[in-house]
Amino acid sequence: MGYVDEIYELVVNKNPAEPEFHQAVKEVLDSLRLAVDANEAVYRREGLLERLTEPDRQFKFKVPWVDDSGKVNVNTGYRVQFNNAIGPYKGGLRLHPSVNLGIIKFLGFEQIFKNSLTGLPIGGSKGGADFDPKGKSDREILSFCTSFITELYNYIGADIDVPAGDIGVGAREIGYMFGQYKKLTHSYEGVLTGKGLSYGGSLARKEATGYGLMFLVEEMLKCAGEDIKGKVCTVSGSGNVATYAIEKAHQLGAKVVTCSDSNGWVYDPEGIDVAALKQIKEINRARLTEYAKYRPKSTYHEGRGVWSIKCDIALPCATQNEVFLDDAKTLVSNGCIVLAEGANMPTTLDAVDYLLENKVMFVPGKAANAGGVATSALEMTQNSQRLNWSFEEVESKLKQIMVNIFHNIDDAAKRYDCAGNYVVGANIAGFEKVADAMLAQGIY
């Protein structure tokens, strides 16, 4: 059995009942095969893959909080610090009832390679809790966030581990956590990113993941001799990533005709109205059923269905495992030429294989959505410098980073005779730098 297969078996045996973590490790290891085989003797002796697939440390903690009726509730919080070979740990916090250790480990593992791909000095971590923010009042969110950070603050710091937002964590939650961190530590430091603009946040951070996704797609299409202008896109999700992917797609001349939430989806043949979407989701904090009030020609459908709509470019921006093999078949038969992952691991492994076999340009999340964490790292830089850059300056740096990421993954795929396979390209390009740093720093 080869080194890669041995390690995958080890991971499955050592981490039972964590299917998302197994899936992420399988995807990464399978595509590292060529790079690992070329250096197998050294990597084996150094235990490199054993070390890479085992988090440096993981915290699981109690989060008691009081709801508006005065009742005490208890959730479970997590932080998994996976690897800091190339910089302080960095990764988002997810608040969603589905959160468990396996999901946080899958996200933390992916984060190592994503952060490496940005070209910036940041290691990989992830955290969150099984708390459901839906339907909670501001005071309940404050109570939860205060309790969550009262434990988490022990393990983080501007040069140690810098959390950010993810599903269910936006500027409001980061603000509440930052306030409590300051109180507990008596220090004002860039310990969290995604902060509000009045207290150390970066312009363009909110937009960064969605904008970055579209910058990468634009560059990839350009290199393939295609123009993004006039292309029809389907997007899933209606949160942070989805909203700003739609906004930038429209600015670049494409047309996005769908979006969704966990209850249903909207089809708007004239193009999603971003102002209406922001009003519904960011201001009213309401459901997509309201969208038709703003756009009478749109239709709302319960359940799943975004991928049934004919498109050139598919952009899953909601959550993991939301594009299945059947969806991939429909996309291919409808003439889709690009699937770029705004969300983390939204496409199942068999669907990815099908898309690659059918020559769809597929970009995995660790490359396609790296603009968010890259801009978080730019926020850390601004905090360290005690400076604020303009929107244009941050956006132009973001664009350059996304263009570089595309060329790095494209080059890595070509170096290993896998031209056009950006799964291989992204994993190898992300891995090489981390492996080099780990080998240089001894055994830890």
Of the pair 191, 208, the CB lying nearest ligand NDP is at: 208
Token pair 């993991």 is found at: 320
Write down the least CB distance from residue 171 to ligand NDP, Å. 11
- Strand, helix or coil at 128? strand
- Check if the beta carbon of residue 150 is closer than 8 Å to that of residue 182: no
Of the pair 187, 299, the CB lying nearest ligand NDP is at: 299
Of the pair 22, 205, the CB lying nearest ligand NDP is at: 205
Of the pair 168, 175, the CB lying nearest ligand NDP is at: 168
Angstrom CA distances, 219 to 45, 225, 403, stand at 40, 10, 6
166 binds ligand NDP (CB under 6 A): yes
How far is the C-alpha of 345 from the C-alpha of 164, rounded, in Å?
A: 19
Token pair 């970009």 is found at: 363
# of chain residues touching ligand NDP (CB under 6 A): 22
128 backbone φψ class: left, alpha, beta (φ>0; ψ -120 to 50):
left
Q: What is the DSSP letter of 166?
A: B
Of the pair 195, 416, the CB lying nearest ligand NDP is at: 195
**Which of these is catalytic: 105, 114, 126, 255?**
126
* Binders of ligand NDP in range 302-361 (CB under 6 A): 317-319, 342-344
Of the pair 343, 398, the CB lying nearest ligand NDP is at: 343
Of the pair 330, 358, the CB lying nearest ligand NDP is at: 330
How far is the C-alpha of 360 from the C-alpha of 54, rounded, in Å?
A: 33
Binds ligand NDP (CB under 6 A): choice among 73, 262, 279, 308: 262
Q: Which stretch binds ligand NDP (CB under 6 A): 49-57, 236-244, 272-280, 433-441?
A: 236-244
- Check if the beta carbon of residue 382 is closer than 8 Å to that of residue 388: yes
Binds ligand NDP (CB under 6 A): choice among 88, 91, 168, 175: 168
Alpha helices in 186-236 (DSSP H): 205-223
Q: Which stretch binds ligand NDP (CB under 6 A): 75-83, 181-189, 257-265, 382-390?
A: 257-265
**Can you spell out the DSSP letters for 143-163?**
HHHHHHHHHHGGG-BTTTEEE
How far is the C-alpha of 271 from the C-alpha of 277, rounded, in Å?
A: 12
CB atoms within 10 A of CB 62: 10
201 binds ligand NDP (CB under 6 A): no
Nearby residues of 71 by Cβ (< 8 Å), 6 or more positions away: none
Q: Which stretch binds ligand NDP (CB under 6 A): 178-186, 256-264, 392-400, 435-443?
A: 256-264
Q: Which stretch binds ligand NDP (CB under 6 A): 41-49, 154-162, 259-267, 384-392?
A: 259-267
How far is the C-alpha of 254 from the C-alpha of 376, rounded, in Å?
A: 27
Binds ligand NDP (CB under 6 A): choice among 165, 200, 364, 430: 165
Output the residue with the shortest Cβ distance to ligand NDP. Answer: 239
Give, in degrees to the nearest 5, the angle at Cα 380 between 378 and 384.
Answer: 115
Binds ligand NDP (CB under 6 A): choice among 53, 115, 193, 238: 238
Q: Is 293 an annotated catalytic residue?
A: no
Q: Which stretch binds ligand NDP (CB under 6 A): 16-24, 38-46, 240-248, 291-299?
A: 240-248
- Check if the beta carbon of residue 173 is closer than 8 Å to that of residue 203: no
Write down the least CB distance from residue 312 to ligand NDP, Å. 21
CB atoms within 10 A of CB 290: 16
102 binds ligand NDP (CB under 6 A): no
Binds ligand NDP (CB under 6 A): choice among 28, 36, 241, 428: 241
Write down the least CB distance from residue 237 to ligand NDP, Å. 4
Exposure on the CB side of residue 274, measured as CA atoms within 13 A: 17
Angstrom CA distances, 173 to 154, 157, 195, 306, 341, stand at 18, 17, 9, 29, 25
- Check if the beta carbon of residue 4 is closer than 8 Å to that of residue 38: no
Of the pair 166, 218, the CB lying nearest ligand NDP is at: 166
Binds ligand NDP (CB under 6 A): choice among 15, 209, 234, 421: 209
108 binds ligand NDP (CB under 6 A): no
- Strand, helix or coil at 196? coil
Q: Tokens in use for 170? A: 């936006």
| Catalytic residue ranges | 126
Binding site for ligand NDP (CB under 6 A): 165-168, 209, 237-242, 261-263, 317-319, 342-344, 369, 372
